[in-house]
């Protein structure tokens, strides 16, 4: 990275000040005298305007240097005070009045009001061509902006040079930090720190991480610190399309931030957007590649003998212990385009705390995230599954893929074993994760306990399954559509507690007599005995199968 000339190359303010405008030949030839607001001559002049109408304030936007001979000021003190107050409220840079036929000296009402409002007021003792003043000041303003652009272009050139030289985001931020003489940060849209850089000059004795914790970290939710510069870096992020992936934050710690620093940050943001987009694409391609490997392993296209070597190429080195297959399936509609790389990174970072080797892939078409984990012993399966499920759900939330109103992701854990078992386990877990959609929410499901749901899911398109559900619980479904209280939840809870009435009543918050009455009504509608084992089995299957039929 070439940093020559960057350190100490501080930005300069944009445009021109009132003081500088008075020093230009046009106004200087009018023998200017500052009669009010002398302490505010460093105000920036955005433009020059000349006018002689009483309502001139309504024609201005703020930041103007207003030239007038005083014809619109009015003749009464009240009119003159109102004229100045309106200009001050509009936020003009200064008022310049040329003495002559209208005024030989400025009225006291005018001067006093300007002083009270803090508005620079200048009187010219000689006549000057206003067009000359306008040309000179506008030329200075344009030259000032051009100088800013030149400085920003130089910073952008150095950022590009750093990237072409093999540098990355830290080097780009370092260029900005040296240019501004202040710490620079790259944070996510939710204010999580990604990178930090401080100026390399010896005079800037500030640790950027300490600055972050002291000035930024404590301000979460309260907006950015005063004087900070924030520039969005587009790059997909968790929003659909081109949203905000990150943002550059400059904090004026060692010196005040100037307009040129924002311009430079905006130029650098374009370079960072390309870097982040490339990283996202590479990250997603890698995650998809791992997902393809795990899918091929599950489908038998990769043998158990060849799998270990291919897994090592992908960075997975599980050791000699058993392998644990896990599959997470997202609810339909919870995986917007462009978020899979974000999900893969977020989940990987969460899984880093699990403490076991992990091979994670993504399958966007199926909405699945398959994983293989290397266990030390089979006895730690449950503990690892708990940590993995928590990490997966946290990653989904961080990636912004869990939308309000949607079912949470389903995590299914297979049977631990060798590579051959991992192949079958991944296939079984993937199918089971689809079949488990709509079940009561759990941190994770054991694939072995969902075989019945998987069988019913496989029969979902067979007309006999719909007919079976209708025969078994049709009268209850019809009753619940037209009457209250609904009886299907009572039957479902009763069967879930294996016919134990006391536990059923407690869960439903019913007294026993009310529960007995509901169970009697259920038996009457179905024309069956709820104590008969075959009836209980049929009803249990029908309740589980109703998720898969219209």
CA distance 275 to 116: 52
List strand residue ranges (DSSP E) for 31-126, in order.
32-36, 44-45, 47-50, 64-68, 94-98, 121-124
- 30-127 folds as 3.40.1390
- CB neighbours of 383 closer than 8 A, spacing ≥ 6? none
* pLDDT average per 10 residues of sequence, the chain (550 residues): 38 68 90 93 88 89 90 90 93 92 90 93 92 86 73 80 76 85 80 77 60 57 68 59 66 78 84 75 77 91 90 87 93 61 78 85 87 92 91 81 71 94 93 83 89 85 88 89 89 88 90 91 89 89 83
State the DSSP string of 155-191. HHHHHHHHHHTT--HHHHHHHHHHHHTS-EEEEETT-
Q: How many residues does the chain have?
A: 550
- CB neighbours of 63 closer than 8 A, spacing ≥ 6? 44, 45, 46, 47, 91, 92, 93
CA distance 47 to 63: 7
Q: Name which CATH class applies to 167-218+227-278.
A: alpha beta
Enter the DSSP assignment of 245: E
Of the candidates 65, 71, 79, 61, the one whose C-alpha atom is nearest the C-alpha of residue 18 is 65
CATH number of 299-449: 3.30.70
Domain boundaries, the chain: 30-127, 167-218+227-278, 299-449, 463-548
Q: Is there a contact between 30 and 113 (Cβ–Cβ < 8 Å)?
A: no
pTM equals 0.51
Helices of type H across 299-319: 307-313
SS3 for 124?
strand
Q: How far is CA 130 from CA 29, 65, 126, 135, 200, in A?
A: 12, 11, 12, 9, 47
Query: Cis omega (within 30 of 0) on the bond before 485?
Result: yes
Q: How far is CA 93 from CA 82, 90, 137, 279, 524, in A?
A: 17, 9, 13, 46, 88
CATH number of 463-548: 1.10.10.2840
Q: Is there a contact between 18 and 137 (Cβ–Cβ < 8 Å)?
A: no
Q: Across the strands, what pairs with 48?
A: 65
CA distance 371 to 321: 16
SS3 for 208?
helix
pLDDT at residue 116 in the model: 93
| Exposure string for 52-87, b = 16+ CB within 10 A, e = fewer | eeeebbeebeeebbbbbbbeebbeeeeebbbbbbbb
Q: Is there a contact between 317 and 357 (Cβ–Cβ < 8 Å)?
A: yes
CA distance 233 to 187: 10
Handedness of CA 440, 322, 358, 297 (dihedral sign): negative
What is the number of alpha carbons within 13 Å of residue 198 lying toward its C-beta? Answer: 14
Q: Is there a contact between 236 and 245 (Cβ–Cβ < 8 Å)?
A: yes
pLDDT at residue 204 in the model: 46
For residue 491, the tally of other CB atoms under 10 A from its CB is 23
């Amino acid at each position: 990275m070439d940093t020559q000339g960057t350190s100490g190359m501080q930005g300069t303010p944009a445009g021109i000040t009132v003081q500088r405008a008075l020093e230009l030949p046009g106004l200087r030839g009018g023998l200017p005298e500052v009669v009010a607001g002398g302490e505010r001559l460093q105000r920036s002049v955005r433009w020059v305007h000349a006018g002689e109408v009483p309502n001139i304030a309504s024609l201005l936007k703020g930041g103007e240097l207003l030239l007038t001979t005083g014809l619109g000021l009015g003749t009464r003190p009240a009119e003159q005070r109102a004229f100045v107050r309106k200009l001050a409220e509009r936020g003009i840079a200064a008022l310049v009045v040329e003495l002559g036929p209208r005024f030989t000296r400025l009225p006291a009402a005018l001067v006093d009001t300007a002083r009270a409002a803090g508005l620079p007021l200048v009187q010219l003792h000689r006549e000057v061509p206003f067009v000359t003043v306008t040309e000179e000041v506008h030329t200075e303003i344009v030259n000032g902006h051009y100088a800013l652009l030149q400085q920003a272009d130089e910073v952008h050139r150095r950022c590009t040079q750093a990237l072409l030289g093999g540098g990355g985001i830290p080097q780009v931020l370092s260029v900005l930090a040296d240019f501004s003489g202040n710490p620079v940060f790259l944070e996510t849209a939710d204010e999580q720190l990604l990178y930090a850089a401080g100026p390399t000059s010896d005079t800037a004795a500030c640790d950027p991480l300490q600055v972050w914790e002291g000035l930024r970290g404590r301000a979460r939710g309260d907006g950015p610190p005063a004087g900070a510069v924030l520039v969005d870096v587009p790059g997909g992020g968790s929003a659909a399309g081109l949203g905000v992936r990150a943002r550059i934050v400059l904090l004026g710690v060692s010196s005040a931030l100037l307009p040129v620093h924002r311009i430079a940050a905006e130029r650098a943001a374009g370079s960072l957007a390309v870097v982040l987009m490339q990283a996202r694409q590479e990250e997603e391609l890698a995650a998809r590649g791992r997902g393809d490997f795990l899918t091929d392993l599950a489908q038998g296209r990769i043998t158990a003998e060849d799998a270990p070597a291919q897994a090592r190429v992908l960075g997975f080195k599980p050791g000699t212990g058993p392998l644990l297959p896990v599959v997470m399936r997202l609810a339909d509609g919870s995986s917007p385009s462009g978020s899979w790389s974000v999900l893969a990174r977020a989940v990987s970072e969460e899984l880093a705390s699990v403490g076991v080797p992990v091979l994670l892939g993504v399958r966007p078409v199926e909405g699945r995230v398959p994983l293989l984990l290397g266990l030390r012993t089979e006895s730690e399966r449950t503990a690892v599954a708990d940590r993995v499920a928590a990490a997966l759900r946290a990653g989904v939330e961080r990636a912004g893929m869990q939308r309000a109103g949607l079912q949470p992701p389903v995590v299914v854990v297979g049977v631990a074993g060798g590579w051959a078992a991992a192949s079958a386990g991944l296939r079984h877990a993937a199918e089971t994760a689809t079949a488990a959609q709509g079940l009561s929410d759990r941190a994770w499901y054991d694939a072995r306990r969902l075989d019945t749901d998987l069988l019913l899911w496989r029969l979902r398109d067979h007309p006999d399954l719909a007919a079976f559900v209708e025969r078994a619980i049709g009268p209850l479904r019809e009753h619940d559509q037209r009457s209250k209280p609904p009886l299907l939840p009572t039957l479902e809870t009763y069967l879930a507690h294996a016919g134990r009435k006391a536990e059923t009543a407690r869960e439903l918050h019913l007294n026993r007599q009310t529960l007995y009455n509901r169970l009697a009504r259920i038996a009457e509608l179905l024309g069956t005995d709820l104590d008969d084992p075959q009836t209980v089995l049929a009803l249990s299957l029908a309740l589980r199968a109703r998720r898969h039929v219209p």
